[in-house]
Amino acid sequence: MAEEDEDGEVVFSTCLPQPHHLSRAVVEPLEKILQLMLQWDPVKRGGVVHPNTKKPLCFELLDQLLSLKVVHVLNMGTARLHSFPLSPDESVNSLQTRVERETGVAARDQEILLKVGVSLDPRKPARQCVTEGLKDWDSNTVFLFDKTLTKYTGPFSTRQPSDKLHTIMMDPESQKPVASLKKAWGEAVNHVCSLREDYCWLFQGQRAAMLSLLHYNTSLTCRNEAMFAESDKLKSKLDFFKSCIQYDLEKYSDQMHCGISSEKMLKAWQKSELAAAALEEVAEVGHLDEETVALHSEIVELQRSPFARSQTGGLDKLEEEAKSLFRQLKTQCRKNESGVTKDSSEMVRIIEESAQDESNFLKDLYSHLEKILISRQKIMELYPRVERALDTIRDADRTVMSMQSRRQKEVWFLLKLACSSIRNSPAASPESASQSTPHWSPTPSSQPPSAAHPPVTLPSPSDSTARLLQENQSRLARFSSLLQEAEDHQAHSIVEDDWSWIQHDPLCKKKQQTLQNV
DSSP state at residue 125: B
Q: What is the extent of the structural domain holding 45?
A: 1-67
Q: Are residues 90 and 58 part of one domain?
A: no
Better pLDDT: 35 or 139: 35
Does the residue 255 lie in any domain?
yes
Give helix then strand counts, H and E, for the chain. Answer: 12, 8
Q: Are residues 226 and 80 part of one domain?
A: no
Taking alpha carbons only, the member of 183, 202, 194 closest to residue 161 is 194
Better pLDDT: 258 or 329: 329
Among 36, 67, 98, residue at a domain's last position? 67
Q: Are residues 43 and 91 part of one domain?
A: no
Q: Are residues 75 and 40 part of one domain?
A: no
Which of 11-25, 395-409, 440-454 is predicted with the least confidence, judged by mean pLDDT?
Answer: 440-454
Percent of the chain at pLDDT > 90 equals: 17
Supply the pLDDT for residue 334. Answer: 76
Does the residue 25 lie in any domain?
yes
Q: Is the pLDDT of residue 163 over 90?
A: no
Supply the pLDDT for residue 403. Answer: 85
Q: Are residues 365 and 411 part of one domain?
A: yes
Supply the pLDDT for residue 93. Answer: 92
The pTM score is 0.70
Taking alpha carbons only, the member of 209, 185, 220 closest to residue 296 is 220
Supply the pLDDT for residue 97. Answer: 92
Does the residue 261 lie in any domain?
yes
Question: Which amino acid is present at 48?
Answer: V
Q: Are residues 306 and 355 part of one domain?
A: yes
Supply the pLDDT for residue 300. Answer: 92
* 372/210 Cα distance (integer angstroms): 6
Q: Are residues 26 and 141 part of one domain?
A: no
Strand partners, 341: 177
Q: Are residues 39 and 110 part of one domain?
A: no
Among 67, 93, 112, residue at a domain's last position? 67
pLDDT digits (tens, 9 = 90+) for 270-307: 888 888 888 888 888 888 888 998 999 999 999 888 88
Q: Is the pLDDT of residue 501 over 90?
A: no
Q: How many domains does the chain have?
A: 3
pLDDT digits (tens, 9 = 90+) for 457-470: 444 445 666 676 77
Q: Are residues 415 and 272 part of one domain?
A: yes
Taking alpha carbons only, the member of 383, 395, 379 closest to residue 282 is 395
Q: Is the pLDDT of residue 473 over 80?
A: no
* Three-state secondary structure string covering 450-497: HHHCCCCCCCCHHHHHHHHHHHHHHHHHHHHHHHHHHHHHHHCCHHHC
Distances (CA, A) of 66 to 135, 383, 511: 13, 45, 120
How confident is residue 5, by pLDDT bands cut at 50, 70 and 90?
Answer: low
Q: Are residues 232 and 115 part of one domain?
A: no
Does the residue 163 lie in any domain?
no
Which of 117-131, 287-301, 393-407, 487-501 is predicted with the least confidence, judged by mean pLDDT?
Answer: 487-501
Q: Are residues 60 and 188 part of one domain?
A: no
Q: What is the mean pLDDT of the chain?
A: 79
Which of 136-145, 321-330, 449-458 is predicted with the least confidence, judged by mean pLDDT?
Answer: 449-458
DSSP state letters, 400-460: HHHHHHHHHHHHHHHHHHHHHHHHHSGGGSHHHHHHHSPPP---GGGS-GGGGSPPPPPPP
Half-sphere exposure of 330 (CA within 13 A, CB side): 10
